[in-house]
Structure 1
Amino acid sequence: MAALVAAEAAAPPGPAEAAETSETAEAAELSRALSRLLPGLEADSKLGRRRALEALQRALEAAWPQAPDADPAAAAAAFQGPWARLLLPRLLRCLADPAEGCRALAVHLLDLGLRRAARPRDALPRLLPALAARLAGPESARGRPPEACEELRLALVQLLSLAVRLGGPALAPHLDDAVRALRCTLLDPFAAVRRESCECAASLARATPDHFHMQSESLIGPLMQSISHQHWKVRVAVTEATGTVIQFGSAKSVDDVLPHFAQRLFDDVPQVRQAVTSVVGGWLLDLRDRYSFFHKLIPLLLSSLEDDIPEIALTAANLWEKVGLQWQRENEDDLKDKLDFATPPPAHHPSPENRPVLGCRELVFRNLSKILPAVCHDITDWVVGTRVKAAQLLAVLLLHAEDHMTQHLDVILRALHQACADDDSAVVSNCARSAELIGAFVSPEVFLKLILSMLKKSPSPSSLLVLASVIRGCSREALQPHLKVIATELARPHICQGSENRLYGEHVLLCVQTLVSVCREDCRGCSLQLVEVLVTVLAFSAATGLSDKVQETMDTLASVQGVDGSQDLYREHAGPVLEQLAASHQDWTVHSVEFLRFNVLLTHAGPALGGVLPQLVPALRSCLQPARDPQMRLRLFSSLSRVLLSAQETVNFQGQFHHYLDTMTKDILVPNLQWHAGKTAAAIRMAAVSCLWALISSDILSENQMREVQETLMPDILTTLEEDSQRTRLISCQIINRFLKTSGSVADPEKFIKIYPELLKRLDDVSHEVRLAATSALVTWLACVPNDDRKAHYQSNIQFLYRELLVYLDDPEAAVQDAVLEVLKAGSILFPELLVRETEAVVEKHRSPAHCQQLLSYLQALPLAQ
């Protein structure tokens, strides 16, 4: 037995024993080398300590085998003992060295040691408290980190991250130290430290999944304080770290985080919004308690579907589809009937090819009652961005909810009613999109009951926009049975006459346009009501400027009904509209909506007026009486003048206007030509004179009718020659000229003789136009004097006229001289000898006898011409 033991002792060592002997030898050699250098770390001088650290660095680098065939595991095992026993404690003490350079070298050596040691976890019990002391000492409570150098704080956090990666689950007993350090570094003034701390926090969560939940909540506060940091990379890092911390930590922190995440959806940097989208999508897929937070997380992810950056929207869409499919698989038994008997997309779905999967639709439907109140609240928030996001989200929710939104319709419509009054166009457009989805998915019988009730209570531009948008989203077949009801409600006075505001008019018009575009030929049954609405909008067009749009809509309505144009619509409906208006014409003023509508018909109905004279003329007679509102009379005369100028295409289109000529002259024009004091009365007389001129210029009166009009109105027109208004005097001269041309031979010499003195007075008018018009009328008057035996009756008057005209033959204005010369030439045929004598009597008195000589030459040539 002794021999056997001796033989074994004398035998050469095996491979394992040889390796252990080699490791021991290398460790012993490294220990001796380090032992020689370590005393330098205690030197009093900064330079000495630094040189010792540099020497240690060279020794460690030299001790690591560089040969290709070297065994890293053996080297790490040999390094473990000297590192843990000799180097680690002293390097940790160096972390508090007064010299910054020494602290930096110590951190570097600790990093090197952790990477090379065979069992880096053994260093954690001493390393973690030391790091926590440098990163989160008592000084930090007053805002000054124990480590003053930013670069060294970054290196220490990187060292902590390395320890977390190498330590793994062994970090569990040291979570307190790690979390204490991170709570401070997450708020570090140096942005790089914050970013590294975020990565370290995420690594710590993944490394200790079984214990991290006990500490995770303490990191949420610092993370949320950093989530609005000015550097976007920090915001991204914080968002991603928060996702991991909650994923592996306590889900109770979701409530604390969500408001901050919601704010990051408004971040100007797309990368931040992308990070929020990815994190929220990850929670919806993998969070352990995600079912409890669906109603809070879904709005955040769906908000990203409407992001301006396509990549973010695509990421959100992909994640949302995965969430829906996963939930669908997890609840397959509950959805069995819906999966086995899948319903096709609704017939009027806006994009059936992109319809969300069943799981997504069900998730929204089941959580809509919890999501909707917050969305409806945010849609009226004071911040524009919040309102826009809420409006976008509402549209996405309704697209998923489809017909399930019916049970929430009252709440949705109230929110849309408020939001459609927003000043921001993006909010309004998204709300209009939501309203279109209501039309696509909800029965008209349901939504019309609510919308029309809102309109009856308080008609407004926003409620009209909601109605127009809902109609636009609805199908023609579904809307057809309710078309008459909608048109009748729109035509009610308190709705179509609700306001003269331009926006209100635009939205009333939009309702009609939408009805016509959706229902097309079906609009025949409610054409009268739609025309009433259009006439009302057109009545306010002076204030709103919508006349062109109304005319386009009228033409479109005519087109879908298969008639030639808007004139055919007026021809069909002008009578009923006028009958409706006639009931109240006794009470009209210039501001009455009924009067404005009447004026629209008068100016736009064209040929249709010829068929509604029995309703039109009595209303005109009533409104144009002197006792009525002067402003209304002025406006009505202006419109009537334009109509009478084209009477053949308007009031006399059917050749029946002559039946109402007496009413027009005796009951309408005569009372308004009477003189009354005041500028308003003068303006009305001018309007009446203009209206008379339009009537006699329209060529619809026969000679007998013209004589009747002259007989009735000539006395009043002679008085208007004295009006202060130049325009009135001018038109009066033209009217007299027209009357004289039509009357031919003189019917009543007494009345006839009274005309020329009034015209003669106008030769002294301040207006050259009036003077020339008066000379033209005098030519016509002289032409009416019979050139036969009867002319002797007029000789004295003609002689007086010759004398007066010869005075104006020396007028300062050459044009007046020429015009008067023509008058004298025209009248010379009556009494040429008398005119010669009168001319010769004044020729020497004129400043310039040229015109008198021309007249004498003309008169001397008359017998030759005869």
Structure 2
Amino acid sequence: MAAPALAEAAGPAEAAESAEAAELSRALSRLLPGLEADSKPGRRRALEALRRALEEAGPAADPAAFQGPWARLLLPRLLRCLADPAEGCRALAAHLLDLGLRRAARPRDALPRLLPALAARLAGPEPACRLQPEACEELRLALVQLLGLAVGLGGSALAPHLDDAVRVLRCTLLDPFAAVRRESCQCAAALARATPDHFHMQSESLIGPLMQTISHQHWKVRVAAIEATGTVIQFGNGKSVDDVLSHFAQRLFDDVPQVRQAVTSMVGGWLLELRDRYSFFHKLIPLLLSSFEDEMPSIRELATSLWEKVGLQWQQENEDDLKDKLDFASPPPAHYPLHESRPVLGCRELVSRNLSKVLPALCRDISDWVVATRVKTAQLLPVLLLHAEDHITQHLEVVLRTLLQACADEEVAVVSSCMRSAELIGTFVSPEVFLRFILATLKKSPSPSSLLVLASTIQGCPREALQPHVKVIATELAQPRVCQASDNDLYLERLLLCVQALVSVCLEDCGGCGLQLLEVLVTVMAASGATGLSDKAREAVAALAAVENVSGSQDLYRKHMGPLLERLTTSHGDWTVHSPELAQFSVVISQSGPVLGESLQHVVPTLRACLQPARDPQMRLTLFSVLSKVLLQAKDTVDSQGQFHSYLETVTKDILVPNLQWHAGRTAAAIRTATVSCLWALTSSEVLSAKQIRDVQETLMPHILTTLEEDSQMTRLISCRIINIFLKTSDDVLDPDKFIKIYPELLKRLDDVSNDVRIAAASALITWLKCIKGADGKSYYQSSIQYLYKELLVYLDDPESAVQDAVLEVLKEGSALFPDVLVRETEAVLHKHRSATYCEQLLQHLQAVPATH
């Protein structure tokens, strides 16, 4: 053993000397002087020759024979060449160093000289220097690759040179050239793995540059920085986790899926392998679970797979603590959400035990000013709640308060996730517990968000658990302070959602509170300005009817009409146009159909009281509009039971007459128009007998004659039509003195600005003429009819042909009374008309009709 020891002591060059090494040394010795040449071309030729010599030697060369000449002759000279003024020479030197390291038997022997040289070229004298002495970016990349090769070949021997390596990386991680940064990230990870026993003392100094690189514009650089950070912390100081978490969280919003996948993979790796991972569970778990809602299926699958491994590993590590739960595993709740797979026990326990630490940050971020942050945070909450299950109860107040705030967010994605969270609360928490908080909030300050949270919790709650609380919820929703708190469409939409959720979940259990729910739905229809919302409310009425086992919406109104109207009309003495009860009363009248005919004892007195002239004019207009609509379909509404005639006198004398009285002002005129419209709807609805119409006529004819003078064209037109109907049913029972006063008013309307009114007046005159029967009647009215002939003949020459046609028909109808008189009057004006056509037609008609005396 003494001989080898002596040989080794003689020096490595002498011990490794062999014939091959000697030959290589001689060959290199001939080329090396060229490296000292003064000219750049000379030094370059020498380096090219060295490259050819090494490449020709090939991989077959004995590493042991190569080691001596490499370490003794080549390495020191090549390292000096790294500072050569010529860029080409520096590049060749870097290439030769790469070849040498790969072929040497003991590459780690080069580290004491190589690392300082690389540090000098890449980092300069200052550790934090950003401007590297090497100006060429391709050369900086080659030198970093050379460092990576040295790390890979040197392994743990790099420990004494860790300072130089880290100093280099701190600069190159911030290099302007993206490829250098990527290579530096890979080198940093390799360095961490190569020197695990010493790297933790230096790892923190790399975190800053890595975090500056993690937001680089090139996504591949970002991925490399994330992966390097994961390895650096894995083998370095675990305390650095706190320094990188916010940066990793920001990368979860990255537009490039590969970046988000890298974060997910790194965080999952830490949860599985980080030495002090238990200290960081509450910080790392939210990051991994956030990827459960990533838009890319591959990332969601990766996160799910990693999370399950984390849960199973933790479960095995804490088997003694979980023994009872493992031995007596509880089955999933019977009402567990569909399409959701229950996480393993370890995952559920990890979330439950860390939820109190996670929630404060989550509650803060869900109201962040950045939309993406709010969306991501809102998506995380249901994932946590699904794991926590009934453990949510311990944190219910915090979670519900957060949801109440977040459900008011303008971002649809935030609200959608919050609704899902509220559904999970309904699934896992007892209604007695969550209703106590939500209903108290609703009483204190009703809002769209509180109603949405209530609707969502109801939607997620099992029917059997909710059954004892249905009446309480319905009663609270029907309270005026809740259902009438706002007429904002969003508020009403959320109010409707509560009813829809209650009906869809509880079904027949809603039977005991149908009145309250119907009140809410009527309120929604009354206050809604959106047609779509009213349609949805009507659909909800039909759904409520189905669960109450009645045949449809009409039967539902029939079942609750009495109490509903009684509640609504209690305050009718104080109604104004803005009263919510007025709008609800209008909805009930409009929607109840035939049921209205069964409730006249409630409806008519209310209408009578509210339609008095002393009441709010705008309110009266509203009610007249509703009344007109139901009177148009009287057979299917107010007279569905044939009882409307009992209230006809009240409607006529106490409602219509007072509102036909003339008062100054546009509003009063509008009310008279609305009143006339109601009368027209009543008289044309075919529910009144001829005698009933005559009774109405007796009362209203004087008032209708005055409305012929109204400024409103619509009023004048409808009044003409009403008079026509009155005359058709009057036969000969009209008082002659009253009858004779009708035609002058109609005659005036032939001068109306509206052709429609003129034609309607002509039609009424035809009916008036038909009412004159018998010789006595004719003689009584002769002077009036002769006057009428003269006036009508004037309009026979009207510029409007339609009016001429109408007047011709009136004269034809009246010609049977006094044809001789009409002939004389016609012949007297014939020459005065612009066209004699109509006069000639009238005369021809008179000649064709047999004379009567």
Q: Deviations over 1:623-657 (max 9, x none)?
A: 21112222221121111111101111101111111
> TM-score under structure 2 normalisation?
0.96
- Range 478-487 or range 296-305, more displaced: 478-487
CA distance in 2, matches of 1:169, 1:143: 28
Task: Indicate how the Cα distance of structure 1 residues 720 and 362 shifts in structure 2: closer, same or farther if over 3 A, else same.
Answer: same
Q: Which stretch shifts more, 512-521 or 141-150?
A: 141-150
Q: Does 1:175 align with 2:175?
A: no
CA RMSD of aligned residues (A): 1.9
TM-aligned CA deviation for residue 794 of structure 1: 2.4
Instruction: Name the structure 1 match of 2:5.
Output: none
Residue 148 of structure 1: aligned partner: 135
2:130 touches 2:171 (CA, 8 Å); kept in 1? Answer: no
Could you tell me which residue of structure 1 aligns to residue 233 of structure 2?
Answer: 246
Instruction: Find 1:381's aligned residue among 368, 390, 396.
Output: 368
2:529 alignment partner, SS class: helix
Task: Please tell me the residue identity of whatever aligns with 1:177.
Answer: D
Q: In structure 1, what is the Cα distance between the partners aligned to 2:630 and 2:274?
A: 77
- 1:526 Cα shift? 1.3
Q: What's the CA shift for 1:793? A: 2.5
- Give the CA deviation at 1:455: 1.3
Distance 2:93 2:804 in 1: 119
1:24–1:694 CA distance, 2 compared to 1 (3 A): same
Aligned to 2:716: 729
- 1:565 and 2:552 matched: yes
Of residues 35, 42, 50 in structure 2, which corresponds to 1:56? 50
Aligned to 1:33: 27
Q: SS at the partner of 1:788?
A: helix
Aligned residues: 840
Distance verdict in 2 for CA 1:772–1:153, change over 3 Å: same
| Deviation at residue 436 of structure 1 after TM alignment | 0.9
CA distance in 1, matches of 2:607, 2:458: 39
Mapped partners of 1:389, 1:138: distance in 2: 45
Q: In the alignment, is the contact (CA less than 8 A) between 1:139 and 1:145 conserved in 2?
A: no
Residue in 2 that maps onto 1:262: 249
Amino acid at match of 2:52: R
Greater CA deviation, 372-381 or 699-708?
A: 699-708
Equivalent of 1:331 in 311, 318, 340: 318
Task: Decide whether the 8 Å contact of 1:825 with 1:858 is kept in 2.
Answer: yes
Deviation at 1:191, TM superposition (A): 0.9
- How many Å apart are 1:825 and its aligned residue? 2.7
Which of 95, 100, 104 is equivalent to 1:108? 95
Which residue of 189, 192, 209 corresponds with 2:196?
A: 209
Q: 1:522 offset after TM fit, Å?
A: 1.8
Specify which of 39, 43, 57 is matched with residue 37 of structure 2: 43
For the 8 Å contact 1:500–1:543, the answer to whether it is kept is no
Deviation, structure 1 residue 845: 4.2
167 and 708 in structure 1: CA distance in 2 versus 1, 3 angstrom threshold: same
Q: Matches of 2:828 and 2:540 in 1, distance apart?
A: 73
Q: CA deviation at 1:239?
A: 0.5
CA distance in 2, matches of 1:99, 1:91: 13
Cα deviation 1:165-210 (Å, max 9, x = unaligned): 1111111111111111111111111111111111111111111111
What is the distance in 1 between the residues matched to 2:227 and 2:850?
A: 118
Counterpart amino acid of residue 175 in structure 2:
D
**Pairing 1:335-734 to 2, within 5 Å after superposition:** 335-351=322-338, 354-542=341-529, 545-734=532-721
- TM-superposed deviation, 1:790: 4.4
Q: Which residue of 1 aligns with 2:10?
A: none
Q: Structure 1 residues 813-822 or 601-610, which shifts more?
A: 813-822
Q: Does 1:770 align with 2:757?
A: yes
Q: Is the 8 A contact 1:129 1:177 kept in 2?
A: yes
Tell me which residue corresponds to 1:11: none
Amino acid of the structure 2 residue aligned with 1:56:
L
Distance 1:142-1:22 versus aligned 2 partners, 3 A rule: closer
> 1:486 deviation in Å?
1.1
Deviates further, 200-209 or 758-767: 758-767
Amino acid at match of 1:746: V
TM-score computed with the length of structure 1 as normaliser: 0.94
Q: 1:815 to 1:26 in 2, by over 3 A?
A: closer
Which amino acid is 1:25 matched to?
A: A
Letter in 2 for 1:828: S
Rounded to whole Å, the distance in 1 between the matches of 2:351 and 2:335 is: 20
Name whichever of 611-620 and 273-282 sits farther off.
611-620
Structure 1 residue 802: Cα displacement: 2.6
2:11 alignment counterpart = none
Match status 1:78 vs 2:65: yes
Give the CA deviation at 1:864. 6.7
Q: Which moved more, 1:723-732 or 1:809-818?
A: 809-818
- The 2-side partners of 1:432 and 1:300 are apart by 22
Higher mean alpha-carbon deviation, 706-715 vs 289-298, is at: 706-715
Query: Quick one: which amino acid aligns to residue 153 of structure 2?
Result: L
Q: Is the 8 A contact 1:540 1:596 kept in 2?
A: yes
Identity across the alignment (%)? 78
Q: What one-letter code is carried by the residue in structure 1 that aligns with 2:589?
A: L
How far is 1:797 from its partner?
2.2
Q: Distance in 1 between matches of 2:171 and 2:850?
A: 127
Q: Distance in 1 between matches of 2:805 and 2:31?
A: 131
Q: Per the alignment, in what secondary structure is the counterpart of residue 354 of structure 1?
A: coil
Quick one: which amino acid aligns to residue 36 of structure 2?
E
Please list every run of 5 or more consecutive structure 1 residues that lacks an aligned counterpart in the other structure: 1-19, 67-71
| Contact residue 819 and residue 851 of structure 2 kept, 8 A | no
Q: Can you give the 5+ residue segments of structure 2 that lack an aligned partner in the other structure? A: 1-13
| Residues 1:112 and 1:863: Cα distance change in structure 2 (over 3 Å) | closer
Indicate conservation of the 8 Å contact 2:16/2:68, yes or no: no
Question: Any idea what the Cα deviations from partners look like across 1:139-181, whole Å, max 9, x if unmatched?
Answer: 7856320111111111111111111111111111111111111
**Could you say if the C-alpha distance between residues 141 and 788 of structure 1 is closer, same or farther in structure 2, counting changes exceeding 3 Å?**
same
**Cα shift at 1:437:** 0.7
Amino acid at match of 1:537: V
- Contact 1:502–1:545 (Cα < 8 Å) also in 2: no
Sort the Cα spacing of 1:544 and 1:817 in 2 relative to 1 into closer, same or farther, 3 A. closer
Distance 1:204 1:540 in 2: 70
Match of 1:127 in 2: 114
How far residue 41 of structure 1 moved from its aligned partner, in angstroms, is 1.7
Report the Cα distance in structure 2 between the residues aligned to 1:818 and 1:231, rounded to whole angstroms: 87
Question: Residue 189 of structure 1 is aligned with which of 162, 176, 188?
Answer: 176
Question: How far apart are the structure 2 equivalents of 1:663 and 1:864?
Answer: 49
- CA offsets 1:532-590 (integer angstroms, 9 cap, x no match): 11111111233565222112222222223232221112222222121111121122221
State the SS of the aligned residue for 2:697: helix
1: CA distance, partners of 2:57 / 2:831: 143
Q: What is the CA-CA distance between 1:64 and the residue it aligns to? A: 5.2
Task: Give how far 1:97 is off.
Answer: 1.1
How far did 1:807 drift? 2.9
Residue type of the alignment partner of 1:619: T
- Aligned partner letter, 2:25: S
The code of the aligned residue for 1:295 comes to H
Once the 2 structures are TM-superposed, how far is the Cα of residue 282 of structure 1 from its aligned partner?
A: 0.5
CA contact (8 A) 1:586 1:623 kept: yes
SS at match of 2:850: helix
Question: Structure 1 residues 65 and 590, CA, compared in 2 at 3 Å: closer, same or farther?
Answer: closer
Residue 297 (1) aligns with residue 284 (2) = yes
State the shift of 1:125 in Å.
1.1
- Amino acid in structure 2 at the alignment position of 1:676: H
1:782-811 CA deviation, whole Å, 9 max, x = no partner? 221231334433232223223322333333
Give the CA deviation at 1:107.
Answer: 1.3
Residue identity in the other structure for 1:315: L
Instruction: State the distance in 1 between where 2:554 and 2:679 align.
Output: 26
The amino acid across from 1:762 in the alignment is R
Matched, 1:801 2:795: no
